[in-house]
Structure 1
Amino acid sequence: MDKTPASLPFDLVQTHPGLALLRLAALMAEGGAADDDTLDLMFEQMEVGALDGLSGAEIWAELARGLMGARPGAMVKALRECGVLDIILPEVAAVFGVPQITDTADEIDLGVLLVAALDAAAGRGAPLEVRFALMVMHAGKSDSPREHLPVHYRHMERAIPRIEAICDRLAPPQLCRDLALLALNECERVHRTSPVRAGPVAAMLERTGAFRDPELFEKLLLVATCDYFGYGDKEGDTHPKAELLRAARDACAGVDAEVDDPGMARAQAIATAFRSERWAQA
């Protein structure tokens, strides 16, 4: 297919060139391929200032369209390869090429992880806020001290203002901001959940809203699950640590929140459910 501007779909030709550029990328999330001609066209449009004057709300509408596609990772890759991601989401563009350690002590490019996790979210029919969280939650890792890589010390502190800046700039729904910040703080802790420490698990359930906002809690577990499968070497359909946290939450169902020490009562309930004296004493 000829990729000159005159041969683009009619609705793209008739709209603002910047919106046409973003919509073309969003359409790639529906299964289109970003061939060299298309990327060249997108780069040329970016170079001549097609994005100038677009509001954050207009940019967000097209990003949301692509994020909800069947292959959102393809949109992100295309935006990066033509240079547009550096303009509209520099905080996300910066994580490409940055190493992240895996649970096998190997390394993965954070950009590769981000793209794969987004596609895993699409495969699970995840809502927009989950996909947004997966896209932005690594933003604090782009400038980790080189001598510490692939470990990212204090990345959460660096990420908070960046995620808030993205949200201020693009104005996504409030739930996108809330879940992204929750995932930033808790996703890696989900991955590290231990079946022998009832106290910290009970505290995590309380902190992440497992009892007061179970829907948000489930979305956090979905973020963690998609991130887990983004590493590409996992088997099965579920994240073992997410299932462990669900079982721990269910074990607390009979605990009265009005007892003198609900945290201790929940820890004991979790320990009893998993028949672990060592866990009960943690």
Structure 2
Amino acid sequence: MARKFTRSLADLAQTHPALGIIRLAALLAEAEAATDADALDLLFEQVDAGFLLDVAPSEIWPELVRGLMARSPAKMIETLRECGALAQILPETEALFGVPQIADEPAPVDLGEHLKKALEEAARCEAPLPVRVALLLMNVGKADSPPEHLPSHYRHIERGLPRIEAICLRLGAPRECRELALLAAAEGERVHRASKTRAGPVALMLERLGAFEAPERFQLLMTVCACDYRAYGDRSGAAYPKAALLELALEACAKIDEAELTGQGGEEELHEARAAAIAWAFNSQRWSGEED
């Protein structure tokens, strides 16, 4: 690790000063030691001097990836915040700090702090880049929710989706990162609310999420939702109950002869068969320990 860090510092000296700010934050996210105050002072001075003003956003992306995939991506986010860089390169994420989010606990959680905890959960389970990008962006529509509605966030999906599109376009993020972030923003809270008592809506949700046609992306979404779930309270590392519920639903649907049903009655017939199979599977299992 020491050798890798030393080699990366040599790279730091050869890069654009603006990119060096983000690269140093990413390198600090890989280090075990706490961030040095002198390093933070240097970063603050560089940001204050306007180093980030003339760098192309697409050039920032590789440095962000470096930090997101580091041992502690939350450390990169916090370092960028403390030196003022996050507000310049990702103002949509900076705006989440201080915004309350309703939680199971008596008091709401801070969305920015929640984001950091979710990224740490992603690092803990060695999640791939699309998952980490989705966790970074999925809540950007909540930054400016009407104060009178807080800690609830009405219509945040409508606000968030175009912002995610704009951020990904600006940074040049890969398509798979953009698609998963959009899916997580639109459907993540619905996944959290999936209930064993509503087989029909579960079948519709699985179809909407592409669980049958794009199972790999669906599993990535489950990882996003699991990390988001574990970022609340003391759930770190806990099993995600909705993943087990939806896996049971998928197993029930796998026994259906889709080709035969589609030929007989079209998509409606197939949906009804899936809903019936899920209802039977849910009723055949005991879920006494799971929240609806």
TM-score, normalization: structure 1? 0.92
Of stretches 32-41 and 12-21 in structure 1, the one that deviates more from structure 2 is 32-41
The answer to whether the aligner puts 1:181 opposite 2:182 as a matched pair is yes
Matched residue, 1:262: 270
Amino acid at match of 1:62: E
In 2, the alpha carbon distance for the partners of 1:58 and 1:95 equals: 24
The equivalences for 1:118-197 within 5 A come to 118-197=119-198
Q: Deviations over 1:177-206 (max 9, x none)?
A: 000000001111111111110000000000
Per-residue CA distance 1:44-95 (angstroms, 9 max, x = gap):
1011121233222210000001001111011011111111001000001000
Instruction: Name 1:15's counterpart in structure 2.
Output: 15
Distance, in Å, in 1 between the alignment partners of 2:206 and 2:105 is 27
Over 3 Å counting, the alpha-carbon distance change for 1:113 and 1:10 in structure 2 is: same
Give the deviation of 1:235 after TM superposition: 6.4
Q: Partner of 2:279 in structure 1?
A: 271
Q: CA separation in 2, counterparts of 1:38 and 1:122?
A: 24
Cα deviation for residue 232 of structure 1 reads 3.1
Change beyond 3 A, Cα 1:235–1:62: closer
Question: Residue 236 of structure 1: CA displacement?
Answer: 5.6
Amino acid at match of 1:16: H
Q: What whole-Å deviation, never above 9, does each CA across 1:219-238 have from its counterpart, x for those lacking one?
A: 00000000001113226632
Consecutive aligned runs of 4 or more in structure 1 exceeding 6 Å deviation: none
Share of identical aligned residues, percent? 57
1:85 matched residue in structure 2: 86
Aligned residues: 270
Shift of 1:171: 0.7
After the TM superposition, which of the residue ranges 52-61 and 194-203 deviates more from structure 2?
52-61
Give the match for residue 104 of structure 2.
103
**Alpha-carbon shift at residue 14 of structure 1 (Å):** 2.5
Q: Is the 8 A contact 2:135 2:181 kept in 1?
A: yes
Question: In the aligned structure 2, how far is the partner of 1:203 from the partner of 1:58?
Answer: 40
Q: Any unmatched runs of 5+ in structure 1?
A: 1-7, 277-282
Distance 2:154 2:114 in 1: 19
Please say if 1:29 is aligned against 2:37. no
Residues of 2 paired with 1:235 and 1:65: CA distance?
Answer: 24
Q: Which residue number corresponds to residue 5 of structure 2?
A: none
1:196 partner SS: coil
**RMSD of the TM alignment (CA)?**
1.6
DSSP 3-state at the match of 2:52: coil
What is the alpha-carbon distance in structure 2 between the residues aligned to residue 17 and residue 235 of structure 1?
37
1:106 deviates by: 2.8
Displacement, 1:105?
A: 4.5
C-alpha distance in structure 1 between counterparts of 2:121 and 2:35, whole Å: 20
Deviations 1:215-255 (A, max 9, x none): 00000000000000111322663200111111111110011
Q: Give, as a single letter, the amino acid of the residue that structure 2 aligns with 1:163.
A: I
CA contact (8 A) 2:203 2:275 kept: yes
Q: Equivalent residue for 1:237? A: 238
In the TM superposition, what is the alpha-carbon distance from 1:143 to its structure 2 partner? 0.5
SS at 1:51 equivalent: helix
- Structure 2 unaligned blocks of 5 or more: 1-7, 285-292
